[in-house]
Chains A and B, each alone.
Chain A
Amino acid sequence: MAAGNGQVLHKPLGLLAELTHRCPLGCPYCSNPVQLERRSDELDTATWARVFREAAALGVLQVHISGGEPGARRDLVEIVAAAHAGPLYTNLITSGVGLSKETLAALAEVGLDHVQISIQDSQAASADTIAGYKGAYARKNALAAEAVRLGLPLTINMVVHRANIDRIEEMVEQALRLAAGRIEIAHVQYYGWALENRAALMPTREQVERAVETVEALRVKHHGRIVIDAVVPDYYARFPKPCVGGWGRRSLNVTPSGRVLPCHAAEVIPGLEFWSVRDHSLGEIWQSSPAFNTFRGTDWMQEPCASCSRREQDFGGCRCQAFLLTGDARATDPVCHLAPNHALTAELAAVQEERPYVYRR
């Protein structure tokens, strides 16, 4: 199958379904856009069910049910049942707050395959401060224990930044105590709310280097007991992350109102035309929507990407980051050491201020 611009069209593997932007927490690094979508604009149950059927037919294997807090949707159980019927491997990404034990049990009953719960820190007071919600830590731990009691495979997600990066080892110990099969150590990525809070969140280079060593040592220490996945801290990296595995290549993201994006941050790039599942099938959107075809493949690239031997490995890095840091969405991601603007990332990373978080509200 060919895309509209003559590029080879791959089949997507994953769908991120953002059911709602509503969330009880206020994490200052939230990946949702700064302009949150309203409840009245959210897709209904039947439309989500159609999206899941179309996704499965398109080749999607896994759906990540996310938000906001997906537990804020009263029809979450029906939505998960529809995803399972898709048929799709169904992963719930939850804050663990605003989702009852009864709902979790009902989700397990209708075919939920896996649950991911975020925990903000290994220390309760700090975790609650980061989440902007008193008592969040205790509720998250209780829900994680309940997931394991129900036999659901559990991933603990820890987003790391200056305030908690020195406690990765404690977080992994905590995940082991909770009997999680997997932990994700995800350095903050600076888009949306995190970009607003960059100076308050940015770790030092020494912290980042120590964190990378810690993760490597913990992987050896706990080999065979827990899977430790780590997302690299990209302002300190040499090569950019291959954002979403290549634009319009492996995954798609449906926003609460039904707009379909190549990645969750793509709306920051001006001039992109996104299509909605209200007007088009997912298959049509994947193949023909202008936003998906804008950066598909390598034809859009400038130098040094265009002639780079890693162009089909890194895909030029992240388009959103290129735009946010240089003003040009076609530029090489400045995280790359070959980028003309590479010095910028070090300059920006050096700006670290002790100031209160701007909470996502």
Chain B
Amino acid sequence: MNTTPRIVSDDSVPRLRRGVRMVDSSAQGGTVLLAPERVFKPDPIAIEILKRCDGTATVGAIVDDLAATFSAPRERVLVDVKTLLGSLADKQLLEL
């Protein structure tokens, strides 16, 4: 599908949309993201990002926290976070 990526701003405050829940399922082997008639298995990086999307933290603050927690270069974390959040917003899983 040929579409332009969504622009995600540093000041956005991401949170899971109503109807989207992240839960732990030992039977299904870990954390799953439940959405209307869909189930996603986020990878460990996505889980760390999503855990911080609490509806109060800005994208900038989430990136700062991740960069500090994992001693990772901020620029790279920023790209990863914005790519993931943009793609989840396009799938109607996240509000920005």
Contact = CB atoms under 8 A, between A and B. Distances in A.
A89 interface: yes
B47 interface: no
A189 interface: no
Interface residues of A, number: 29
Contacts of B28: 11, 13, 59, 61
Interface residues of B, number: 22
Interface in A180-210: 181-182, 184
B25 A116 contact: no
A87 B39 CA distance: 15
A59 B21 CA distance: 16
A113 B19 contact: yes
Contacts of A57: 27
Interface of B is mostly: loop
A87 B26 CA distance: 13
Nearest to B89: A224
Contact of A224 (B2, B25, B90): B90
29 contacts: A57-B27, A61-B23, A61-B25, A61-B28, A61-B32, A61-B39, A62-B37, A62-B39, A64-B37, A89-B23, A89-B34, A113-B19, A113-B36, A114-B36, A116-B37, A152-B18, A153-B19, A153-B20, A155-B36, A181-B17, A181-B92, A184-B37, A219-B1, A220-B1, A220-B2, A220-B3, A223-B1, A223-B3, A223-B90
Given A61-B34, A62-B34, A113-B21, 8 more contacts: A11-B27, A152-B19, A155-B36, A155-B37, A182-B92, A184-B37, A224-B90, A227-B92
